[in-house]
Each structure stands twice: as C-alpha cells, then as structure tokens.
Structure 1
C-alpha cells in the first residue's frame, strides 16, 4: 500500500532509497562514531542504545526518525559523514528538526557536492506507516511517498 506524507523542506532534493526506521531519537555521535573514526564506509550504526538501528548500515538509506538527541556535535557529525561519503540518502523527521541536525544537513549541501534532502514535520503517522526495508521517495516540495 502506498502512503503519501507532506512535510517541511529543510534541505531540498529528490531521492529514492530504502528506509531505515528508528522510533527513538538518533544520537548522531554515537551512531556515526565507527564510520567517522574507524573507516566504516557503510556507516554501521554503533549506538547500542538504539535497538532499531544498532548494527545496521545507515549510508545511502532513507533515515526515518522522530528527532536527534545527544551531543552538541550532531551537526558536525552529519557534515563529516557527508564529506566522507557515508551519509544517509536523506533525513526524514516525524517531529520538528532540531537546530543542530538542521545545521549539519544544510552545511552538508552547502560545503559538499552532496546534498542530503531533509524533511521534517511529517507527523507521528509517518513513523507508524514506514518500516525498515520500505522504499521511500522524497520530492523537492517535501512530499514523501512510502511503498
């Protein structure tokens, strides 16, 4: 069944990717630590406190989550992951994005040649409808289709 959601565009772009869903907040530093420090090109989630993501590759996936949590380094972590080519295909938030994650997503598009489309305010229904492995399509206007 195809479901369509509309959110607020933080970073414009179009992408189609496999969903990776977290029902808890994403601790960017804990999640991307292996990718940034030890050369894990798949960006396998290293946050043991996030059972939805732990041990799963995040690079190239549509990362679907309520919000980010944790360190004030969050924006820089997202930028560094993008600079190293280990970023998610897109970031899709059910809740409003926090300023740190927004800064990282925006700067990734400005300071690299690899924008990371980012949409927030998709609503709690979005996280209820999308499952890891689903195909997610993001349009420039903030339309997100789950199939």
Structure 2
C-alpha cells in the first residue's frame, strides 16, 4: 500500500530510493566522519549514539529522520558529503530542518552541478511513525513523498 505525505521543499528533485530511518536526531559530523576523513564511500554511520543508524550505509539511501543535531559544522559536512558523492539519495525530515543543515543542502544544490539530494522537511510525526527501513520512497519536486 502506498501512502503519501506532503512536506516543504528545501532542495527540489525527483528521487526513488530505499528508506533508512532514524527516530533520533542525526549528529551530522559523527555520522559522516568516516566517509569524509577515511574514504568510506558507503558513508557508514559512525555515530555510536544513534542506535537506529550506527553501522548502516547512508549513501544512496532515503534518510528519514526527525532533525539533525550537533555542531555548527553540520551544513559543511552535508555539503562535503555531496561534493564527494557520499550523500544520502534524499533527506526527509518530520520536523522543520535547522538552518545549518538547510544551508549545507542548499549550497550543494546550487554550487554542485552534478549532485542531486532532494530535501523535504515538515513531513510530520505520522510520516516517521509510518516509514520503516527498506521501504521504497519516492520524492517529487513539489514536496510529495510517497512511501510504499
């Protein structure tokens, strides 16, 4: 059964990918550190405090989460992950995105010609309750997210 959710478009794009779900906030630096510093092309989550994501591949997945947490490096980390082609296929937030993560996603969208990482926020708590790992996610340009 396919279920649709409407969110706010932060960076536009159409994308279909398998879900990777976190019910905890994403510490961007801790999660992507191995991908950025040590050449992990799969962007294996290195944040031991995030029990939903730790040790799982984030690159190419539809990352579904409530929010990001952590330091002021969050936007730069997302931008760098995109520039190194180690970014999630898309990022889908149940809550409004914070300004730092939003800035990183928007700068990657504007500055990197060959990278697409749609970001949709404000999808609501029902979205995060419904979506499960490995469900197929389709993101549309208008902020509609289909989960099936």
- Describe how 1:42-121 pairs up with structure 2 within 5 A: 42-112=42-112, 113-121=114-122
Matches of 1:126 and 1:107, distance apart in 2: 26
- Describe how 1:22-41 pairs up with structure 2 within 5 A: 22-41=22-41
Q: Secondary structure at the residue paired with 1:102?
A: helix
What's the RMSD between the two structures over aligned residues?
0.5
The normalised TM-score by structure 1 is 0.99
Aligned to 1:10: 10
Moved more, 104-113 or 33-42: 104-113
The normalised TM-score by structure 2 is 0.98
Shift of 1:115: 2.3
Deviations 1:74-114 (A, max 9, x none): 00000000000000000100000000010011011111121
Matches of 2:58 and 2:70, distance apart in 1: 18
Structure 2 portions without partners, runs of 5+: none
Q: Secondary structure at the residue paired with 2:59?
A: coil
Shift of 1:57: 0.3
Aligned to 1:144: 145
Deviations 1:47-86 (A, max 9, x none): 0000000000000000000000001000000000000000
Matches of 2:94 and 2:136, distance apart in 1: 17
Matched, 1:19 2:22: no
Matched, 1:127 2:125: no
Q: Give aligned pairs, total.
A: 147
